[in-house]
Amino acid sequence: MSGGLGAQQDREKELEVLQFWKVRVESELDQVVAFWTKNSHDPEHGGFLTCLGHDGEVYDDLKYVWLQGRQVWMYCHLYRKFERFRQPELLDAAKAGGEFLLRCARVAPPEQKCAFTLTRDGRPVKVQRTIFSECFYTMAMDALWKVTGDTRYQREATEMMDQIVHWVREDPSGLGRPQLAGTPAAESMAVPMMLLSLVAQLGDEDEVLAGRYAELGDWCAQKILQHVQRDGRAVLENVSEDGQELPGCLGRHQNPGHALEAGWFLLQYASRKGDPELQAYVIEKFLLQPFNSGWDPNYGGLFYFQDADGLCPTQLEWNMKLWWPHCEAMIAFLMGYKDSGNPALLRLFKKVAKYAFLRAASTCRGAWPCARRCWAPW
């Protein structure tokens, strides 16, 4: 009897924690949305100005295609999922951003390759030889299709998705990346991660597209799982084409925030597949291990990069604490708690949330990294 009472009390405490952070996050979300709707919209050329100071002042008017796509997606998601954000102004801004992408994102239409950076009026400045601008373009178009019903957006999303898959699985030459003799045949975890995220996005409330990309989702999940190396003791950012550890700094490279992000992508996948064994494996390997190794025991916060052998990473910013890995950790631990009911994951969420909101929220709008001790301007 006492055991049952104790369990009930524990559950009530967990609900109190969840309610507290729900209210806090809702308040922060309202402030963030108000900041970006006030300061980032470009009524002259369309799209969004994303280089903003704390006061909302624009300090550079370059437009990054991936940020354009992400903001369109976010506005559509808020409009579609939350009653308080079902505002015509938010949808109009999303559509304006989408039309800007349709007009300007591609470097040389009808070719599908997108720019990385554009001028304010939409002229290409820089191209990256990767798939990531195209991925966020796809996310934006699919989100617009789901919220507007305009089939132009759906067609854009699926055509770009199929082009990305072609580049990744069949022929990467269209990306423009030269095949140099000394380049190691490495596979980055970022590529299957992004594709798995797109599979989830396109398949959301769309049985046809969910079926169309089901095999791709399986392929992505298996590719990500290959990054668990050293007898399950480390998630490495890069592996060989046959899923083995690579030599040198490239092979030892770890990114705790990326591993946690991959973790919650895989938890979504495990939920869709109804696979509790995969769920438990992902919680252990992609949530708990990267967090335990990546959390700074002295000052708190997640390191940006690590070396699997404890050597100094070659990236000079390795010991900085960026906002985004802490966001990924909070999402991952909440999702893991929801799926498993394990209160330890809720405690880890609380630990990360207390650190993140104490150090950065409400002042930096999630924009800035800070030094190891987090003695930043805020």
User: What's the rounded mean pLDDT across residues 266-280?
Assistant: 98
For residue 369, what pLDDT is reported?
37
User: What's the rounded mean pLDDT across residues 220-235?
Assistant: 98
Concatenated DSSP letters for 294-338?
HB-TTT-SB-S-EETTSPPPSSTTTT-B-HHHHHHHHHHHHHHHH
CA 89 to chain centre: 25
**Which residue's entry shows tokens 């008017």?**
61
pLDDT(377) > 60 = no
User: What domains lie within the chain, and their CATH numbers?
Assistant: 36-150 (no CATH), 185-369 (1.50.10.10)
| Burial class of residue 29, CB neighbours in 10 A (0-12, 13-18, 19+) | middle
For residue 5, what pLDDT is reported?
73
**Residue 290 · residue 236 · CB < 8 Å:** no
For residue 31, what pLDDT is reported?
94
Residue closest to 323 by CA, chosen among 276, 249, 263, 378:
378
User: What's the rounded mean pLDDT across residues 304-319?
Assistant: 97
pLDDT(376) > 50 = no
pLDDT(97) > 60 = yes
Q: Which of 42-51, 314-323, 341-350, 361-370 has the lowest mean pLDDT?
A: 361-370
> From residue 78, how far is each of 29, 90, 148 by CA, in Å?
10, 9, 13
Q: What is the pTM of this model?
A: 0.93
